[in-house]
């Protein structure tokens, strides 16, 4: 089966930066996704990486290294509304998507 | 509003009941999915439908029975469930399942199921 690891919980202060790491071991690779899920709400798409490097989208950036099986999601200038669960998901050689268990980020004032 | 609507949002049922979860997408997508989300566990894919045809059944017990009458609607029929089936059931849609699409999923807000 596919293996996707990310930390269970992270806490940071408002205005700070938090980096959520995701490592994966999958049969083949056809893209990595990050989703945000607020408590009681639907997961929503944040970013998609298929080539190595950094993708920046406002306060959020996502990085991918395919050779290392590694990605991170960088959240800058944290706001209270960023408190949520962040899900890493990888699409394998058969274009099937597997999810990590999610990282719960708590932003404190 | 993600364009994917699930009903009911909450459901409590006994082990002998029969109930159904409904999902509707307004995005013109061709693929629809059922996922199970349990606390502290990865999202677990249950079923995939592409152009109304089931393309994946991830070894799901037969007490869960999906139905896809058209590309916009997806149901999950529930019968003689167990307490361990209590979870959040998420429906999602995407443009398609093949390599020509990025595979971005659009999720509904889920149906919180409690089996007594």
Measured CA distances, A51 to A69, B44, B68, B77, B101 (Å): 12, 26, 35, 40, 15
Q: Tell how far CA A70 is from the center of its chain.
A: 10
Q: What angle do CA B75, B7, B59 make, to 5 degrees?
A: 40
To probe the interface with A, which of B102, B109, B112 has the most A CB atoms within 10 Å?
Answer: B102
- The position carrying tokens 């509904």 is B108
Interval B31-47 mean pLDDT: 94
What's the token pair of residue A56?
A: 């920046």
Count CB neighbours of A35 within 10 A.
23
Q: Which of residues 13-72 of A touch B (CB under 8 A)?
A: 30-31, 33, 35, 40-45, 48, 50
Model confidence pLDDT, tens digit, residues B83-116 = 999 999 999 999 988 877 878 999 999 999 999 9
What residues of A are in contact with residue B106 (Cβ under 8 Å)? Answer: 45
Interval A34-56 mean pLDDT: 95
Model confidence pLDDT, tens digit, residues B64-80 = 999 999 999 999 999 99
């Amino acid at each position: 089966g596919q293996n996707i690891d990310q930390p269970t919980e992270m806490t940071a202060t408002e205005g700070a930066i938090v980096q959520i790491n995701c490592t994966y071991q999958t049969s083949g690779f056809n893209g990595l996704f990050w989703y945000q899920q607020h408590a009681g709400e639907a997961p929503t798409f944040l970013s998609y990486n298929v080539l190595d490097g950094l993708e920046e989208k406002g306060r959020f950036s996502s990085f991918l290294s395919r050779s290392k099986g590694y990605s991170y999601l960088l959240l800058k200038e944290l706001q209270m509304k960023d408190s949520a669960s962040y899900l890493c998901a990888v699409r394998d050689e058969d274009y099937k998507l597997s999810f990590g268990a999610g990282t719960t980020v708590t932003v404190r004032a | 509003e993600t364009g994917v609507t699930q009903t009911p949002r909450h459901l409590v049922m006994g082990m002998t009941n029969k109930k159904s979860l409904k999902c509707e997408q307004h995005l013109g997508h061709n693929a629809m999915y059922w996922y199970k989300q349990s606390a502290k566990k990865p999202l677990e894919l249950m079923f995939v439908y592409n152009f109304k045809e089931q393309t994946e059944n991830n070894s799901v017990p037969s007490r869960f029975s999906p139905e896809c009458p058209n590309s916009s609607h997806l149901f999950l029929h529930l019968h003689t469930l167990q307490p361990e089936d209590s979870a959040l059931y998420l429906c999602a849609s995407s443009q398609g399942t093949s390599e020509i699409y990025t595979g971005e999923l659009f999720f509904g807000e889920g149906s919180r199921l409690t089996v007594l």
